[in-house]
A and B are shown apart, each in its own frame.
Chain A
């Protein structure tokens, strides 16, 4: 990084962190207001959370092999709170309506001759069906796949220790897509996970808006941008330096909102000691966290770029503000668009700037994001950033943009 870029970033950060008014509006107010909103929401969803915990999951498992049944009787803790019914020769068709209707949480079928196949190290599968539009059902599915089947697989592999070729033991295939088990309307229980991507997106934009407008349109208005432009620093460095520092600020501002949100949730959970595992039981991996941070950075960069561009085109903060309103509305609409779509999204959606990243955020919480999808989102962000930076650089080189007041 060039010295000039560092100096610009350091100065922008100092500018913001030493301004009490900005610190309050950027970090304190959102955290507090989110805390209040979440207290209300949390209170409303408290019943729901208690409900999930108290809920007895019901699974129907067809053609379960002997080894599986024995395994479960040896590990009773795995099926605690689960009402398990074994059937044989049944297909999902019989149970799809009950899954969709909510009276059954999950149906699983083992492939034929499962035990024989495992012994002869042939491919074997477990097919699962659940309703990912519903929380009980989703929780059941994750418990079944990540806890029950995983432990079962480990046991098979341990037994097979002498045979190093058998790495997989068996596959799990979720076939919910092919069966009528999903009920799109029954999404009321998903508030917590669906609302987060939308809130992140909106907080990021709101945080970026106030800082960037002041730093670019405001500096133009006050004549301090031109002072920067008579130094030998390249315009790109000025544009990038400002964008990086504003990105940091916007991210921190969004983080403080999210912290407020989590803190409130934490406090709510204190009142419900038994429900502490609500978030953890969903088991986000380290990779999911990387995806989350990555997507947030992409989104922040694009937002900061767009706001910088509009600010550079405006004479003053007031004018920039009038351009910002429709953009903010647009961002809100795009963020909301996704809330209630639970199917895995097609990859082309990831190629759309902003929309792709929000879809990605949502899919992290739905366990549907893949490395390829993440990469497509990154590629679209990189292209968008480049276009925005070059565009802003050209604006900084444009005398009409620098001297709008005279």
Chain B
């Protein structure tokens, strides 16, 4: 269970960041990345944050995984307040985002074992899970090669395996299929569905309509850090009177921006 309530996150911009904003009048000292965002993700569902680049998806997911402290509002994971007990929250989540990297010097197996240790997974259980994850993601032939020698897609699969080694109840994946070929992407989404069927609480972010449409049980459309619409795919279509999610999204987008694109 993930409960996000009135989440607000603003970044204080450094002088350098300010100088990079081309429009002088738009230069403000704080950037509000997420504003007044509330939603709940229930166990056994895949929840999707859908929005264009810069909408605030990654920021939201980082707040849930305790890497960022909310400026305002609260985040609760499995009933635990993320600010009060960040270690407990971190013990119960898998967090995947493409700016968390694995050390290229080690092999996938070493890496998996190391993170299992940090999560206090018993040795025998680690070996069993490592085998299963490597098999599923076709990593087995590469498990003793250095991560640095693997392809980009293989690296990402290793990162997914590492994030899941402690079999956590909550899964937070930021753009999980980005940069993957269609077959691998399909494997990942199938795996997520399997985890959902096991009763896990899953939240992903994406800017790709088909991913949201095919994978997510519930969708929150985020524009400029705020919730623009939410519900199942069917309910979003109904709310906007459109036939597919692509059109529905555009409708929501135009409504928010006063009809000007």
The interface of chain A, by Cβ under 8 A from chain B, is: 3-4, 7-8, 11, 14-15, 18-19, 219, 222-224, 226-234, 399, 402-403, 405-406
On chain B, the residues within 8 Å of A229 by CB distance are 67
B125 adjacent to chain A (CB < 8 Å): no
Nearest A-chain residue to B114, judged by Cβ: A11
- A222 and B90 within 8 A (CB): no
- A232 and B101 within 8 A (CB): no
Partner of A231, one of B90, B101, B104, B106: B90
Binary flags per residue of B99-138, CB closer than 8 Å to A gives 1, else 0: 1111111100010001101111000000000000000000
On chain A, the residues within 8 Å of B90 by CB distance are 230-232
- B114 and A7 within 8 A (CB): yes
Nearest B-chain residue to A402, judged by Cβ: B67
B69 adjacent to chain A (CB < 8 Å): yes
- B103 and A232 within 8 A (CB): no
- A230 and B99 within 8 A (CB): no
B36 adjacent to chain A (CB < 8 Å): no
Distance, CA A208 to CA B46, complexed state (A): 47
Nearest B-chain residue to A218, judged by Cβ: B103
B interface size (C-beta, 8 A): 27
> Given A231-B90, A402-B67, A7 and B100 touching (CB < 8 A)?
no
Partner of B68, one of A14, A234, A399: A399
B91 adjacent to chain A (CB < 8 Å): yes
| Nearest chain B CB to A17 CB, angstrom units | 11
- B103 and A224 within 8 A (CB): yes
Nearest B-chain residue to A22, judged by Cβ: B105
Nearest B-chain residue to A228, judged by Cβ: B118
- B118 and A223 within 8 A (CB): no
The interface of chain B, by Cβ under 8 A from chain A, is: 65-69, 87-88, 90-91, 93, 95, 99-106, 110, 114-115, 117-120, 162
Nearest A-chain residue to B95, judged by Cβ: A230
Distance, CA A123 to CA B114, complexed state (A): 67
- A230 and B114 within 8 A (CB): no
Interface of B is mostly: loop
* Among A11, A14, A227, A233: residue with most chain B CB under 10 A: A227
Distance, CA A229 to CA B100, complexed state (A): 10
Given pairs A4-B118, A227-B162, 16 additional interface contacts (CB within 8 A): A3-B117, A3-B120, A11-B114, A15-B103, A15-B106, A219-B103, A222-B103, A224-B102, A224-B103, A227-B102, A231-B90, A232-B88, A232-B118, A232-B119, A399-B69, A402-B67
Interface of A is mostly: helix
Distance, CA A391 to CA B176, complexed state (A): 35
Distance, CA A226 to CA B102, complexed state (A): 10
On chain B, the residues within 8 Å of A233 by CB distance are 87, 118
Distance, CA A402 to CA B120, complexed state (A): 24
On chain B, the residues within 8 Å of A7 by CB distance are 114, 117-118
- B100 and A226 within 8 A (CB): yes
- A231 and B115 within 8 A (CB): yes
Distance, CA A229 to CA B101, complexed state (A): 11
- A227 and B101 within 8 A (CB): yes
Distance, CA A227 to CA B163, complexed state (A): 9
On chain A, the residues within 8 Å of B103 by CB distance are 15, 219, 222, 224
* Among B66, B67, B93, B103: residue with most chain A CB under 10 A: B103
Those 7 A-B pairs whose CB atoms lie nearest each other, nearest first = A223-B101, A232-B91, A7-B117, A231-B118, A227-B100, A232-B90, A232-B87
Distance, CA A340 to CA B124, complexed state (A): 60
| Nearest chain B CB to A309 CB, angstrom units | 20
| Nearest chain B CB to A232 CB, angstrom units | 4
On chain B, the residues within 8 Å of A228 by CB distance are 118
Nearest A-chain residue to B99, judged by Cβ: A223
> Given A230-B67, A230-B95, A224 and B115 touching (CB < 8 A)?
no
On chain B, the residues within 8 Å of A222 by CB distance are 101, 103-104
- B100 and A230 within 8 A (CB): yes
On chain B, the residues within 8 Å of A4 by CB distance are 117-118, 120
Nearest B-chain residue to A6, judged by Cβ: B117
On chain B, the residues within 8 Å of A230 by CB distance are 65-67, 90, 93, 95, 100
* Among A8, A231, A234: residue with most chain B CB under 10 A: A231
Distance, CA A405 to CA B95, complexed state (A): 19
Q: Return 5 A-B CB contacts under 8 Å, by A number.
A: A3-B120, A7-B114, A227-B101, A227-B102, A231-B118
Partner of A19, one of B100, B105, B115: B105
Distance, CA A165 to CA B129, complexed state (A): 74
Distance, CA A379 to CA B123, complexed state (A): 40
Partner of A399, one of B67, B95, B101: B67
On chain A, the residues within 8 Å of B117 by CB distance are 3-4, 7
On chain A, the residues within 8 Å of B87 by CB distance are 232-234
On chain B, the residues within 8 Å of A399 by CB distance are 67-69
Distance, CA A19 to CA B106, complexed state (A): 10
| Nearest chain A CB to B89 CB, angstrom units | 8
On chain B, the residues within 8 Å of A8 by CB distance are 118
| Nearest chain B CB to A337 CB, angstrom units | 38
* Among B66, B102, B105, B119: residue with most chain A CB under 10 A: B105
> Given A229-B67, A233-B118, A399-B69, A224 and B91 touching (CB < 8 A)?
no
Nearest B-chain residue to A8, judged by Cβ: B118
On chain B, the residues within 8 Å of A15 by CB distance are 103, 105-106
- B105 and A18 within 8 A (CB): yes
On chain B, the residues within 8 Å of A3 by CB distance are 117, 120
- B101 and A224 within 8 A (CB): yes
* Among A4, A228, A233, A406: residue with most chain B CB under 10 A: A233
On chain B, the residues within 8 Å of A219 by CB distance are 103
| Nearest chain A CB to B73 CB, angstrom units | 16
Distance, CA A229 to CA B118, complexed state (A): 11
Distance, CA A229 to CA B66, complexed state (A): 9
On chain A, the residues within 8 Å of B104 by CB distance are 222
On chain A, the residues within 8 Å of B93 by CB distance are 230
On chain A, the residues within 8 Å of B69 by CB distance are 399
